[in-house]
A and B are shown apart, each in its own frame.
Chain A
Amino acid sequence: MRKTVILFLALTLSLALALPVLADTIKIGFNISLTGDIPKVGESSKFAAEMLKADINGAGGLMVGGKAYKLDFIYEDNESKAESAVTAMLKLIERDQVLAVVGPNSSKQAVPAGQIANDNKTVMVSPWATNPDATLDRPWVFRAAFLDPFQGPVAVNFAVKTFGAKTAAVIYDLSNDYSKGLAEIFKQVFEEKMGAGSVVAFESHGTRDQDFSAQLTTIINRKPDFIFVPNNYNQVALIVRQARQQGYTGEIMGSDAWGSAELMTLCGDVCKGLHFSTHYAAAGATGATKEFIDRYTATYGYTPDDVAALTWDATKVVLQAIQNAGRLTGRLRTDRQAILDGMKAITSFDGITGSMKFDEEGDPVKCAVVVQISQTGEFEFKESVCP
């Protein structure tokens, strides 16, 4: 017993000790949720980053100021918890001495972690966080995803144009800040466009609810032209199915949280033909996007979701900023400042989720796409909406 304990302690200690630092490497931290509520999101991020690292290191490294640097990515698990995101961030910044951090993905970790990054003067790019507070008044914090105040109008305009909708209903998750925020923006924009009272039903539910019949009955009785469902993919599967069972035959539209590889497994046939707005369309992609999707699918066995694509872009943006910095001195403080200047120098970045540039808050100005779920279950490009 004692022996095993000692062995175990020795093992953990040896793992805990950082590997010796190699010369001429660029260290980038990843503060992602590999365990907890949304492990799939962290996994997608990690896979995309690994692919990018293999690419660049395989080609000899990243060229900065005429010198090739190998990339070293450090993945820290934030367990989908706010406090762990903070300690992980501090660990990356202080202990691992990374030049910049990618992540965390969800807003509840990105907001406090962003504070830490900003206080410690380290560039942070969150691939997926949508809460405006994550970047607000924080010059060192950026994000790769567009914000909800942009995504809401996209859904409204598309619905009005394509479905000819005059009335709408919304069902959203009250305890999910993303869902609630988007639902409110949608309601506001739709009513501005179509007149007060055009959102005929505005129903909420809890995160772990399985039965939505009460809300759906109310919605269907008010006869909306379509239903807006800004929910996570697992709830979407249930909501759409239950709406169809109650005899609703009209349109249902969603937001970027639908765009998970899991959606079609959970939802099946009932989701086919529906639309949602998102960051990129996997089916029918061309150029660099297609190349990324094909390679990711070949390596990891499933179509990359938007988090994977956004992480790829976020990481590439950071690398671009490092190259913009021109020269790395090896002094952490100077280099981090140089990277911030490099970030600000990016006027236009061509990513696989579309081309983007950053506004003064560190939020990207980029296009959204609306995709339709095809009969084979793929997310097909329908139209692109730019700000």
Chain B
Amino acid sequence: MLRRYSVHLILATLGGLVVYLAYNEYLGLYYLSVLMFMGVNIILSSSLNLVNGYMGEFSCGHAGFMCVGAYVASVLGVWLFARDRVFGAPVLDPEYALYAFPVIILAGGIAAALAGLLVAFPSYKTRGDYLAIITIAANYIIISAIENMSAIGGSRGFMGMKGVINAMEDTIYLPWMPIWVFIFTIFSVWVIRRYVSSTFGKGVNAISQDEVAAEIMSVNTNKIKTITFMLSSGLAGIGGGLFAYILGYVNPGSFNILKSTEIMVMVYLGGMGSLSGSILAAILFTILLELLRPLQIIKWIVIPLVLIILMQFRPEGIMGNRELGQTFPRLKKFYRFK
């Protein structure tokens, strides 16, 4: 009984605690923002792991999909609920922002999933290095497209999302951003976990092992690739939408190849094909970046050095391709996560 619900219990306590501390302002905005970026990083790294780890493809353009989600969610939210120079007065009553916010973020995710088709279709015919180049191209295409849309600010960026958050807090005062980041983080991890452990999702792993053999064994590889790419980029879009609302400002330059690389570092740090690895790595990476801030320039010697050392002594990443329960079998007694 306890084993069955322990994860739910821990998550609920954790979420409740963070919200309580944030609500009473015991937890400063600085820690809160670090926690929120941590959540976004978890979404990004675990969703990239779906493609790079579980499916064994090599995507280097994850930030591009994040960008699509960020822009769609921002523009939609601002158009509907905030006063803006471009769109003028809000279309709907700002009171509804409270209920519509998750829908807006999900809409960003859906748009990003559709953008994922940009990579999914070429993946039928190519894989490996060539697909990697296509993903980089996709990243650049998305960024260039947005830079050329002067209606939403082009390279100047787009802002006004703060108005939506304010509208939500005016309606009912709660720390809404941390709450939604928390919920969407759990949601993403849960979706990925369900997906890869489903019968259909076993095909994802099969593609990673041997695509031809999988095809012979009646796995519809094209269908699986399409869905996996769409799911992965869709979740990245959700992460991007949250990212945009935390910052209150987006510009295409924030989603360049460097951001993609950062996400990839988290995936490889955690271990390919390990969901708990991705989560741990995202947490570790975010904390490390903040902790080493006082080192200034030396930080960028220390972090790569840590990575090199890790790759030297543990090339498969922190968790390898195993989950927490597999590495520590005793833990299994206490929890079950499906």
What residues of chain A have their CB less than 8 Å away from a CB belonging to chain B?
Answer: 1, 12-13, 15-16, 34-35, 39, 75-77, 81-84, 86-88, 90-91, 93-95, 107-108, 111-112, 115, 119-120, 131, 133, 174-177, 180-181, 206
Contacts and interface: CB of A to CB of B under 8 A. Distances in A.
Ranked nearest first, the 6 interchain pairs of A and B with the lowest CB-CB distance are A90-B30, A112-B249, A177-B155, A177-B156, A94-B30, A94-B28
Interface string B31-57: 001100100000000000000000000
B29 A90 contact: yes
A87 B30 contact: yes
Contact of A87 (B156, B253, B290): B290
B37 A115 contact: no
Given A81-B254, A112-B247, A91 B30 contact: yes
Contact of A176 (B155, B249, B296): B155
B147 A87 contact: no
Nearest to B286: A87
B295 interface: yes
B292 to A, nearest CB: 6
Nearest to B37: A83
Interface in B212-249: 243, 246-249
B293 interface: yes
B6 interface: no
Interface in B6-33: 28-30, 33
A88 B150 CA distance: 29
B126 interface: no
B251 A82 contact: yes
B107 to A, nearest CB: 22
Given A34-B296, A35-B300, A112-B249, A180 B155 contact: yes
Contacts of A12: 291-292, 295, 302
A140 B297 CA distance: 29
Contact of A174 (B28, B155, B247, B291): B155
Contacts of B162: 115, 119
Contacts of A91: 30, 290, 293
Contacts, number: 104
Nearest to B29: A90
* Chain B residues touching A, range: 35 or more
B329 interface: no
B94 interface: no
Given A12-B292, A177-B157, A87 B33 contact: yes
Nearest to A119: B162
Given A94-B28, A111-B249, A83 B293 contact: no
Contacts of B159: 111-112, 115, 133
Given A112-B247, A177-B157, A181-B156, A90 B144 contact: no
A112 B251 CA distance: 10
Contacts of A34: 296-297
Given A82-B254, A180-B154, A77 B299 contact: yes
A137 to B, nearest CB: 10
Contacts of B295: 12, 15
Contacts of B157: 108, 111, 131, 133, 177
Contacts of B144: 175, 206
A175 B249 contact: no
B209 interface: no
